[in-house]
Amino acid sequence: MAPQELQKLPVNPLLYILLIIFSLLYVFRRIFRSGKANLPPSPPKLPLIGNLHQLGTLPHRSFQALSKKYGPVMLLQLGHAPTLVVSSPDMAREIMKTHDIVFSNRPRTTAANILLYGCTDIGFAPYGEYWRQAKKICVAELLSPKRVQSFQYVREEEVALLRNMLRVSCLRQTSVNLSEMFVATSINIISRCTLGQKFEGGDGKSKFGQLSRRLMVLLTTFCVGDFFPSLGWIDVLTGLIPNLKSTLKEIDDVLDLLVEEHQTITGDNYQKSNKKDFVDILQQLREDGSLEFELTLDNLKAILLDMFVGGSDTTSTILEWLMAELIKNPNIMKRAQEEVRRVVGNKLKIDENDINQMDYLKCIIKETFRLHAPLPFLVPRETSARVKFGNYDIPEKTKVFVNTWAIQRDPTVWERPEEFLPERFIDNAIDFKGQDFEFLPFGGGRRGCPGLTFGVAAIEYVIANILCWFDWRLSGANLSGKELDMGEVYGLTVSKKVPLHLVPTLHSPPSVH
């Protein structure tokens, strides 16, 4: 038997072939494992939904709590969508500076795709030539310092109306819903600069403003198809898709009417006017052929809508939080009012030169941006390619959230981060223009918010006026127990859960105009 077995071995090459195959498989497996992606840490996931259950009603706070356990870079699985959450200045710098191009794309959500004309606005447009050219126009013709200064007359007129309404309340000794007033004033300013009119109905309410607020809610509504693409049909059954389309139809009708009205306005005097709104400017650029790309009517409407929504909600939200913090901190309010009134003196109107001298007021605005970032995650980004990020491998098509809310409350960066301390910015060069990555209320890099100058100008002018001419005390409608209710509502922006009701008292003669 033994000699026969020995004779069989050499004539059976299958054993050698199998040995070679298994050896190669072992080698390939080792190579594959050595090249396996080194992904960031991740909380435990549930089947199918991944980490969706950990979002909570206030995701910026939920992500902050998770980052304390899993680190400033963590990878979540939100349904089928891999999602990177970054919560440190150093990692934000890598995204917005070191790897800015790779992280400059936008994920296309169902709501943004429908409501913003296929994401052809500025905020949600994919990174590319169209976005670059459209942003260039917006900055040059609406958002540049020169253009912002040219719209000063709009800010003055709208704030004068706000002051008149507050005077009436002072004479009646009644409280006012200051949150609502801030929304109305912000909408009026941005709608006049971009759209040329307020769109006020007979009841004094802004029709377009109401549509805009509905749009802001819908942009953050949970959409099944965004997390489970094969189940997108559920959004039709729940009524979300029909609601998105009907809202777009209403917005579209208003914008079509607006464009038609602007097309009927002619005349040399009007063409030479320095009070042209953004629609006039875009129409003129389309007609004279000076654009470097095709700007369709839908593109124009998407850009207008973007400027309107982005410019009104963030402004009113910051004003609301700022006044809430001043009410909570009366010593800070007193110091701010003393500065404003000293600078203005006996003048009947605040001008831009006055604002430039209000250093403490600017510190208060900075501290409000820090503590109450209006966009806690900014607009989500998406990787356009696989990238080495820190020590981790980030796959292509990963959604990216930079948790600016958490970064700006990081105790390793900010002393007493949960306290409202404007003094921290006195003689402090740190600014919110996108170069200091521990302070990013407007983002940074290529996708940083281009409306920074426009928004800050409105905030400074509104707050300086209401601090100069009025004194303020709390109305009982704001209280939770014995303290001012500072609860949050999450949406496109994080606003106060309870509107700010305050009682104004005239500080200056009612003859001020």
In a domain, 23, yes or no: no
Mean pLDDT score across all residues of the chain: 86
Write out pLDDT tens, residues 219-237.
888 899 999 999 999 999 9
What confidence tier does 284 reach under pLDDT thresholds 50, 70, 90? confident
CB 302 within 8 A of CB 114: no
Q: How many residues appear in the chain?
A: 513
Structure tokens at 322: 């700022």
CA separation, residue 187 to residues 64, 154, 311, 351, 406 (Å): 32, 12, 8, 21, 29
In a domain, 5, yes or no: no
CB 43 within 8 A of CB 54: yes
| Helices assigned H by DSSP within 118-239 | 129-138, 145-150, 152-172, 178-194, 207-219, 224-227, 233-237
- Indicate the SS3 state at residue 501: strand
* pTM (predicted TM-score): 0.87
In a domain, 21, yes or no: no
Q: What is the pLDDT of residue 20?
A: 55
- Domains held by the chain: number: 1
Structure tokens at 396: 């292509």
Range of the domain at 324: 37-506
**Is 50 exceeded by the pLDDT of residue 390?**
yes
Q: What is the pLDDT of residue 334?
A: 97
Percent of the chain beyond pLDDT 90? 62
In a domain, 12, yes or no: no
In a domain, 419, yes or no: yes
| Highest mean predicted confidence (pLDDT) among 26-30, 275-279, 286-290, 485-489 | 485-489
What confidence tier does 111 reach under pLDDT thresholds 50, 70, 90? very high
Angle in degrees, CA 308, 153, 354, rounded to 5 = 110
**Is 70 exceeded by the pLDDT of residue 11?**
no
In a domain, 245, yes or no: yes
**Is 50 exceeded by the pLDDT of residue 51?**
yes
CATH code at position 142 = 1.10.630.10
Q: What is the pLDDT of residue 280?
A: 82
In a domain, 20, yes or no: no
CB 471 within 8 A of CB 504: yes
Query: What are the CB-based long-range contacts (under 8 Å, 24+) for 424-429?
Result: 424/363, 424/367, 425/362, 425/363, 425/366, 425/367, 426/359, 426/360, 426/363
Write out pLDDT tens, residues 148-179.
999 999 999 999 999 999 999 999 989 999 99
In a domain, 17, yes or no: no
Taking each helix axis as running N to C, give the angle between helix 178-194 and helix 278-288, from 0 to 180 degrees, rounded to the nearest 10: 20
